Amino acid sequence: MANYDVIVIGAGVSGLTAAALLARAGLGVCVLEEQPRPGGCLQGFRRGEFEFDTAVQWLNGMGPAGMSGRLLEHLGGDSPPCPPLKQFQRYKGQNHDYLLTTEPELMRDAMVADFPAQAEGIHRIFADAEDLGRKMSKLHRLSLAFETMPPWTKMFRGMGMLFWYPGIRRHLRPGLEEGLARYVNDPAFARIFIAEEKLSTVLVPMAWAYQGDLYAPPRGGSLALVHWIMKQIRKDGSEIILNERVEEVLLQGRRAVGVRCASGLVAKAPHVICASDVDQLYNRLLPPEATTQKFRSRLRDADLFYSSLSLYLGLDCDPRELGLGQEQVLLTRDDVPRAEQMCTTPDRVALSVLAPSLRDPSLAPAGMGTVTIHCPALLEDHESWGTGDALERGERYKEIKQRQALVLLERVDRELCPGLSSKVSMMETATPVTFERYTRNRGGSLLGTKASDRNIKARIAHYITPVKGLLLAGHWAEYSGGVPMALKAAANTSLILLKQINRKAFKELCSVMDA
């Protein structure tokens, strides 16, 4: 039996960051990870001469003024730098092609030239996006969770949010059709954004563009960041154990006191942080009496982000020869209804296409390159994956996976990169079954819980569990996913714990988060 101050379940970026912050504060931390590779959704993989990230298109807040950048600086001044992006989103359909860069006015002016009758509305879209960017930039200085604050601070922060939130609420809540109708009345213009769910998903990339707040993963891919955080944990005397599946959170009364692993390892600690899927926690690691049926049902019914059908390609040429750049391409079909752009068959759904090696040449040999193709998909369509309820990956699954991969490849070849198929020297495919298997996130979700009205009303996101001494980090602690939210969750979870046991470290980390 081993004893620690804190046990962290899950070596995704959030669990590792929480462990690093607590180890830096002098606590003895043990991170337990079921998989042989750390990183969760960032773990990536190598095939031959090619290195792949699994799902990262861009990062924000990684500069010196951003929350993520400040946290990494707090952990150590030598974190791998994330290069800023100048061009990052291309909207490509059968009848449109626009590129969003750190000079958003270039895209605005191209749209006005194509839709002169909508000029006034287009100018207002970009003006509102610029204003939203200014307001969003304040979030980098307002990252503390309410659970970390004393009552008087909560009161003042709440008053501040009352003034700040209404200015962005009108941009964040409307659906796509309702939102765009405020600006334009041309269906052809609306089709540019046909794959978006809400007005906010149109405006937010533009807002980041105005702020210049978009970054690529560091050299070596996002796994380089994972390995650097692991180095900080070990440097501060704490421990990371891979290939160690946690089977049970040990309780003494209604308080967590450690964990028991499948190998027989028993690790004791007065504090446990779960940085893995919350369904696994409440339905497998804890006894039913630890929570109520109503509580578990509420979590089960939460709105989750999609999983993905993903194609990873190694090319025998530079991707620029195929017309690709550093930007992510959002590839849509004008003749497919918006509902089917969200999650349907690969020949109809919206695609995300990226050439990571154009941002980071270390991912491929000289003169070669990598391309990734992602589209939203659902694990619950298990019959369409040929797995059955048990998610068995037999011959039928392999056949379906290969067939769907070829549909993606042929479509991108036809609609975006003529000649792509002839340049492929290596191909790997991942389905929602793959993402569920390697991340254990429910449904293989890549970004966790949506900031939907339903989720917010049900208070799905939470740090403090019904079990004393047991906290959450990761994508269940905050709405919306991605690396910045995972880092934010890690920091707030660490603060909640440090507030109880190390006031000096608590105040120091507060000053980093609330710059």
Range with the poorest average pLDDT among 92-96, 98-102, 118-122, 141-145: 141-145
The answer to whether the CB of 487 falls within 8 A of the CB of 67 is yes
- State pLDDT tens for residues 271-326: 999 999 998 999 999 999 998 888 888 888 888 888 999 999 999 999 999 999 99
Helix (H, G, I), strand (E, B) or coil at 219: coil
Residue 17, SS3 per DSSP: helix
Mean pLDDT computed over every residue of the chain: 90
**Is residue 449 predicted with pLDDT exceeding 80?**
yes
506 close to 498: Cβ distance less than 8 angstroms: yes
CA distance 287 to 250: 10
Would you say the pTM of this structure is higher than 0.85?
yes
Q: Which residue has the tokens 């213009």?
A: 189
Q: Please state, in angstroms and rounded to a whole number, the distance separating the CA atoms of residues 4 and 102.
A: 47
Residue ranges of alpha helices (H) inside 332-466 are 338-342, 382-385, 395-415, 432-439, 453-458
| Closest residue by Cα to residue 21 from 201, 294, 236, 297 | 236
Question: What pLDDT was estimated at residue 357?
Answer: 95
**Average pLDDT in the 225-240 region?**
96
The single-letter DSSP state of residue 367 is: T
Q: According to the model, what pLDDT value does residue 324 have?
A: 97
Residue-level pLDDT at 75: 94
Distance CA 469, CA 272 (A): 6
Instruction: Let me know: does 270 contact 469? Beta carbons within 8 Å.
Output: yes
Nearest CA to 222 among 17, 54, 342? 54
What is the rounded distance in angstroms from the CA atom of residue 441 to the CA atom of residue 424? Answer: 31
Q: Using CA atoms, how far apart are residues 498 and 504, in angstroms rounded to an integer? A: 9
CA nearest neighbour of 210 among 285, 106, 94: 106
Burial of 140 (0-12, 13-18, 19+ CB in 10 A): buried
Q: How would residue 158 be classed by pLDDT, with cut points 50, 70 and 90? A: low
Convert the pLDDT of each residue in 175-226 to its tens digit. Answer: 888 899 999 999 999 999 998 888 988 999 999 999 998 899 999 988 999 9
pLDDT score recorded for residue 341: 80
CA distance 491 to 312: 32
pLDDT of residue 380: 79
Would you give the distance in Å from CA 254 to the centre of its chain?
32
Give residue 320's pLDDT.
97
Residue with tokens 């059709």: 177
How far apart are alpha carbons 154 and 46 in whole angstroms? 46
| The two three-digit tokens of residue 416, written as one number | 């975006």
DSSP letter string, 320-347: GGGT--SSEEEE--TTS-HHHHHSS-TT
Q: With bands split at pLDDT 50, 70 and 90, how would you rate the model's confidence at 174?
A: confident
pLDDT at 154 (0 to 100)? 61
Task: Give 3-state DSSP helix, strand, coil % of the chain, rounded to 5.
Answer: 45, 20, 35
Neighbours of 347 (CB within 10 A): 13
**Average pLDDT over every residue of 94-100:** 96
**pLDDT tens digit sequence for 474-493:** 888 988 778 888 999 999 99
Q: What number is the average pLDDT over the span 464-473? A: 95
Position 161 scores a pLDDT of 60
Using a pLDDT cut of 70, give the percent of the chain over it. Answer: 94
Alpha-carbon span 360 to 83, nearest angstrom: 9
- Whole-number pLDDT of residue 459: 87
Burial class of residue 48, CB neighbours in 10 A (0-12, 13-18, 19+): exposed
What's the residue count for the chain?
515
Tokens of 104: 């958003």
Q: Quick one: which of 242, 300, 309, 299 has its CA closest to 462?
A: 299
* Ordered strands of the 266-268 beta sheet: 2-3, 266-268, 255-261, 246-252
Residue, of 453 and 478, whose pLDDT is higher? 478
**Res 452: pLDDT:** 80
Beta bridge partners of 272: 7, 470
Mean pLDDT, residues 84-111 taken together: 95
Out of 132-146, 153-167, 455-469, the most confident range is 455-469
Closest alpha carbon to 97 in 375, 416, 349, 321: 416
pLDDT for residue 166 is more than 70 = no
Token couple for 37:
């590779």
pLDDT at 343: 73
Q: What is the CA radius of gyration of the chain?
A: 23
pLDDT, greater one: 418 or 175: 418
Please write the tens of the pLDDT for every residue from 12-56.
999 999 999 999 999 999 999 999 999 988 888 899 999 998 766
